[in-house]
């Protein structure tokens, strides 16, 4: 059975700096119609940086939407037309001051494909050299060094529940066989 839904019409609801919201009317595979609420978000990148001692450089920052600070890996949005590797290296340097000797892809992640149109590109960074952080004017965060095994444990037990962080840590665990 072809599961494709055909767009019949679109109503734009909001156009912001990060997101565009629209409601589409679609024809379903059975011929019926339905509404699809869609949030288009610019694509992003996230980097799992590992230092020479096997610690993850994680960042703690306040996330307004959830009203609390969260422990995450460095991440950010891509600029229009920016290559994911370039964007990931930029975000890593901005947030931690680190530049890697080794930079490996960990694949892509679709954070919430039911309504949210964003692709996150995940990377692993090793052989880190450090300089000054270059935070954006509206960016406030603390960098922490967390042992990799502790990050794995915290992701598995649900203490860390940020999707990009959980995915990158567990993919790196498999890739590195640590």
Annotated active-site residue in 11, 139, 144, 159: 139
Strands 19-27 and 6-15, bridge-based pairing: antiparallel
For residues 105 and 83, what is the distance between their CA atoms, to the nearest angstrom? 13
- Neighbouring residues of 70: CB distance < 8 A, sequence distance ≥ 6: 60, 61, 63, 162
Q: Terminus-to-terminus CA distance in the chain, angstroms? A: 42
Per DSSP, 30 falls in state: T
Is 139 catalytic? The answer is yes
Question: Catalytic amino acids?
Answer: 139
């Amino acid at each position: 059975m072809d599961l494709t839904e055909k767009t019949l019409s679109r109503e734009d609801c909001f156009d912001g700096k990060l997101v565009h919201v629209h409601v589409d009317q679609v024809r379903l595979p059975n011929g019926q119609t339905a509404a699809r609420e869609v949030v288009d978000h610019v694509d992003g990148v996230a980097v799992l940086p590992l230092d020479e001692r096997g610690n993850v450089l994680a960042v703690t920052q306040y996330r307004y939407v959830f009203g609390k600070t969260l422990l995450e890996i460095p991440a950010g949005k891509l600029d229009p037309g920016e290559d994911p590797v370039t964007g990931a290296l930029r975000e890593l340097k901005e947030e931690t001051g680190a530049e890697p000797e080794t930079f490996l892809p960990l694949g892509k992640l679709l954070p919430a494909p039911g309504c949210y149109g964003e692709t996150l590109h995940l990377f692993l960074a090793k052989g880190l050299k450090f300089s000054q952080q270059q935070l954006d004017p509206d960016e406030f965060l603390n960098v922490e060094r967390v042992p990799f095994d502790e990050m794995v444990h915290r992701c598995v037990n649900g203490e860390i529940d940020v999707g990009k962080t959980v995915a990158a840590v567990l993919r790196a665990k498999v890739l590195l066989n640590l």
